[in-house]
Structure 1
Amino acid sequence: MQTFIEEDFLLKGETAKKLYHDYAKDLPIIDFHNHLVPEELLTDRSFSNLTDVWLGGDHYKWRAMRTHGVEESLISGSADPKAKFDAWADTVPNLIGNPLYHWTHLELSRYFDINSLLNNQTKDDIYEKTAEMLSSGGVTTHSVLKKSRVEFLGTTDDPADPLDTHRKLQQADVPFTAAPSFRADQAIHPEKPTFLSWVEKLGNIQQKPIETYDDFLEALSERIDAFDAAGCRASDHGINRMFYKETGDREAAALFSRRLYGGVLNEEEAEKLKTHTMLFLGEKYAEKGWAMQLHIGPLRNNYTKKFHEIGADSGFDSIGDAPVAEPLAALLDRLASKEALPKTVLFTLNPRDNPVLAAMAGNYQEGGIPGKVQFGTAWWHNDHEAGMIDQMTALASIGVIRHFIGMLTDSRSVLSMSRHEYFRRLLSSLIGGWVDDGKAPNDEALLKEYIEGICYKNAKAYFNLT
């Protein structure tokens, strides 16, 4: 059977079709947050089979396969690549209603010109055809990015990364621009067992031992300078539970020193130290003109046995429900009151908090930067049709969707660039539906501004991509 991914897929109504085909479809892509590997971007990595590019580290697919009853050896284990692919092909027909069903067939269509449904009857032909295209060099990292019209990629990089690959990318003849993003999660989690080893690693990259809190902040500041020189446009923080508890310089230094030399911090003390560090970082980001991305709300590593067997980011994370409004407001207010609030993008994993973050963003807007504080796109467990529509509806209802910076993949797979098409089709249907329902004017020039801005131009301006 032929796929359902046709020309007007997800486009409801004539206005939606016009907005997508005339204005959204062929725009370049600004993928400002992803987890692509810089070395693969530099070397134009090729893949030997579809299992490598599809199932290697994709915890979205891993969760679905486990739910379908697939054995772990065929998911994250050492089974033969074809056997893993067959297990995925057996899973896919059960996923109608899940975005993986759409994404799987969209990727097959866009990058391999395969328009058949993936199932047990078609899996062998699809595996063989894609393997031939991949092994012959017909589909590589660069070819996918070029075909998708990707203009900018913001990867996710640890502050202790030496950035050698990104410096090479700056000089390389590649069909896109790539820049690191400053992912400082380790810096704001002194309670974690890995904190001390990471502090040592940070000192090593700067060739200076970290013996005091001032040394720590100086090392972070110097890494920010290094990232900025490598083209960085944004930081990123994964925050499981939003925090804010003020302390002074002296207490923060004492808490850091105690932790550095093997002491334990209680929950309140850890929050004081991470708040003090976060405020320092926020000011530095503002000085550089970066955007500060806050990804708030996952409940991580819930299946502890599997976490210890397989590791983090393997499909055992879900949606948290910790309070967010008061600590987030306190953090943003402290920075804004010091005139040190950077451009900020707020993401929530709990859709309950969509109106909370949409309203929160409106508190801290300032002249000169349209949409300085953004309510970011639907993320992770909300990265589907209903989730995207809910996020955009909340933003439009409470804030100003005209200045929305739009979609990102947050993905480890280069094939995920097709999700920008998915988003653009949904955006066109949302706005086109407002027009068809008489809720917005059928003003073609105005609608063109909305679509082109949200899909491309707003992000390009927001991240200073000239």
Structure 2
Amino acid sequence: MKKFLDHNFLLSNTTAETLYHEHASKMPIIDYHCHLSPKDIAENRQFENLTQAWLEGDHYKWRALRANGINEKFCTGQSSDFIKFQKWAETVPHTMRNPLYHWTHMELKQVFGINELLNPNSAEKIYADTNELLAKKEFGCQGLLRKFNVEVVCTTDDPIDSLEYHQAIAKSDFSTQVLPTFRPDKAFAIENPKTYRKYLTELSKIVGFEIDSFESLVNALQSRVDFFHANGCRLSDHGFTSLPNADFNTNEIIAIFKNFLSGKSISNLEVEKFKCAVLEKLGQMYHEKNWTQQFHIGAIRNSSSRMFNLLGADAGFDSIGNPTNAEALASMLDRWDKTDQLAKTILYNLNPSDNYMYATMIANFQDGNTAGKIQFGSGWWFLDQKEGIEMQLNALSSQGLLSRFVGMLTDSRSFLSFPRHDYFRRILCNLIGKDVEEGLLPNDILWLGEMVENICYYNAKNYFKF
């Protein structure tokens, strides 16, 4: 019987062990999509305790706490940091077979060198030991990035962001590149008139001219794309519950936006048309800049209106939606492709029943010039656990080129989450190793090792050209 979290954790055969230890484990990390705070990095925030570093903003853990019957005051409320940690320690033993159990103990081991299981009996000592380490300079935000050999971090930033913290980092001697990602979801959320008008006012102030027409809106977005590009941005990101899908012409969009600005109500179909038009313009800008565009599709967000009103967004009340409309996805990509303006694209699905649709969809728009130009993104959110990662890898392998995959990302708000790259790398090596051991792949360690290194690091480095 294997020991939990030993040297060969998640590696079930000797080929997997060789691929991981001699190839995957030594690769630097390019974390091309996350939600880390650039302010925390720029100021090299030193966390006061493990609760701040671990539980602050982590809705994965909040969901588990609630499911374990833990009151909200111990999740997001005003309880002391130590009591919140105690409640998490009480919950961890109940998370067995949830990825949180793996991640919790991988982070304790790889960040702090703690091999003890977290439970109510070990909580006080683990809290004291980790807090002692967190007080050291090498455990500040920048030190944690160095510890995990993180070469590049791409944060997620609204078009109106000043990027002042990215600029400060770029001027410092910190070796990790911290680059912004253009996330313009609010820039075409016309379905929420009050919120959208407020956003347009803020955007107008940033660009220095009034947004009084569709043309001026496009000009404003172009101005911000230019600004982001000048500050190192090479990726955009978009979140959709479902993709907009409607035919439109320019005159229609001009009229729709004019009516909106004059206070008239906009129909659902007009909302769809407007979103498609803005998205088309943005995609053309990304192509012109040689950016990579990302699409995260399928999350039902803020399902509990009661808790949304109490806590706001990103508090752990989201779930997997229905399968993506394949026709809408094909239409969106084709809209750019037919004019040869399709940027490099990464598609992330949240419903595993979409895996094979995504894996086949990307092949429709490969251009024969850029290897892996259209990517089926790694297991995302509810799918970034062992089974979800394996399903994504299997679907991509069977329908595309696993060898051209740009690999894993953390999608995290926590500076302790980088062991998730290790988690992915172990799962990847085990999957390939099993095929070798079963005679499904040749025992060509030289080639397979190179492929593993590419997936873990080099493919992303070459694809994004950071």
- The alignment's TM-score, normalised by the length of structure 2, stands at 0.98
Aligned residue number for residue 390 of structure 1: 391
- Which residue is 1:438 aligned to? 439
Partner of 2:231: 230
Q: Secondary structure at the match of 1:20?
A: helix
Match of 2:366 in 1: 365
2:323–2:351 CA contact under 8 A, matched in 1? no
Q: Unaligned 5+ residue runs, structure 1?
A: none
Please list, as runs of the form range in 1=range in 2, the aligned pairs for 1:110-149 lying within 5 A after superposition: 110-149=110-149
Deviations 1:92-111 (A, max 9, x none): 00011111100100111111
Structure 2 match to 1:266: 267
Moved more, 206-215 or 185-194: 185-194
Aligned residue for 1:265, secondary structure, equals coil
Deviations 1:70-91 (A, max 9, x none): 0000001011000100000000
Partner of 1:54: 54
Q: Give the structure 2 partner of residue 349 of structure 1.
A: 350
Q: CA deviation at 1:135?
A: 2.3
Q: CA deviation at 1:188?
A: 2.8
SS at match of 1:414: coil
Aligned to 2:167: 167
Q: 1-side partners of 2:258 and 2:62: how far apart?
A: 41
CA distance in 1, matches of 2:78, 2:267: 41
1:10-62 alpha-carbon deviations (Å, 9 max, x no partner) = 01100000000000001100000000111111111110000001111100000
* Residue 99 (structure 1) aligned with residue 89 (structure 2): no
Which residue is 2:212 aligned to? 211
Question: Counterparts in 2 of 1:265-284, with a 5 A limit?
Answer: 265-284=266-285
**2:324 touches 2:354 (CA, 8 Å); kept in 1?**
no
- Indicate the residue corresponding to 1:28 in structure 2: 28
Q: Give, in angstroms, the shift of residue 194 of structure 1.
A: 1.6
8 Å CA contact retained: 1:142, 1:175: no
Alignment of 1:333-348 (within 5 A): 333-348=334-349
After superposing on structure 2, the runs of 4+ consecutive aligned residues of structure 1 that deviate more than 2 Å are 135-138, 260-264
Give, in whole Å, the separation in 1 of the partners of 2:442 and 2:184.
44
Q: Indicate how the Cα distance of structure 1 residues 238 and 62 shifts in structure 2: closer, same or farther if over 3 A, else same.
A: same
Q: CA deviation at 1:261?
A: 3.0
Superposition deviation, residue 199 in structure 1: 1.1
Asked whether the equivalents of residues 246 and 276 of structure 1 are also in contact (C-alpha less than 8 Å), the reply is no
Q: Which residue of 2 aligns with 1:186?
A: 186
1:312-343: CA deviations, max 9, x gaps?
A: 00000001105420001001011001100000
Deviations 1:251-285 (A, max 9, x none): 11111122223332121110000000000000110
- 1:4 paired with 2:4, answer yes
Name the counterpart of 2:250: 249
1:137 CA displacement: 3.1
Rounded to whole Å, the distance in 1 between the matches of 2:171 and 2:317 is 39
Letter of the structure 2 residue corresponding to residue 115 of structure 1: N
- Quick one: structure 1 residues 322 and 257, their matched pair in 2 at CA, closer, same or farther if it must change by over 3 Å? farther
Structure 2 Cα separation of the partners of residues 117 and 78 of structure 1: 27
Report the counterpart of residue 459 of structure 1 in structure 2.
Answer: 460
Give how far 1:4 is off: 2.3
Amino acid at match of 2:18: K
For 1:305-324, what aligned pairs fall within 5 Å after superposition? 305-324=306-325
**Alignment correspondent of 1:81:** 81
Q: Return the letter of the residue paired with 1:354.
A: N
Alpha-carbon separation, structure 1, partners of 2:206 and 2:111: 39
Name the residue aligned to 2:44.
Answer: 44
- Counterpart CA distance in 2 for 1:120 and 1:96 is 15
1: CA distance between counterparts of 2:126 and 2:138?
15
Distance 2:459 2:15 in 1: 22
State the alpha-carbon separation in 2 of the partners of residues 406 and 126 from structure 1: 32
Contact 2:23 2:450 in 1 (8 A): no
Deviates more, 1:409-418 or 1:243-252: 243-252
Amino acid at match of 1:118: L
In the alignment, the residues of structure 1 paired with residue 448 and residue 163 of structure 2 have an alpha-carbon distance, to the nearest angstrom, of 41
Alpha-carbon separation, structure 1, partners of 2:254 and 2:90: 55
User: Which residues of structure 2 form unaligned runs of 5+?
Assistant: none
Separation in 2 of the partners of 1:382 and 1:89? 24
Q: Please, which moves more after superposition, 121-130 or 317-326?
A: 317-326
Deviation at 1:138, TM superposition (A): 4.3
Supply the distance in 2 between the matched residues of 1:386 and 1:9 (Cα, whole angstroms).
15
Mapped partners of 2:344, 2:462: distance in 1:
12
| Range moving further from structure 2, 159-168 or 118-127 | 159-168
Distance, in Å, in 1 between the alignment partners of 2:452 and 2:156 is: 27
Query: Distance in 2 between the 1:253 and 1:123 partners?
Result: 60
When structure 1 is superposed on structure 2, of 132-141 and 100-109 the one drifting more is: 132-141
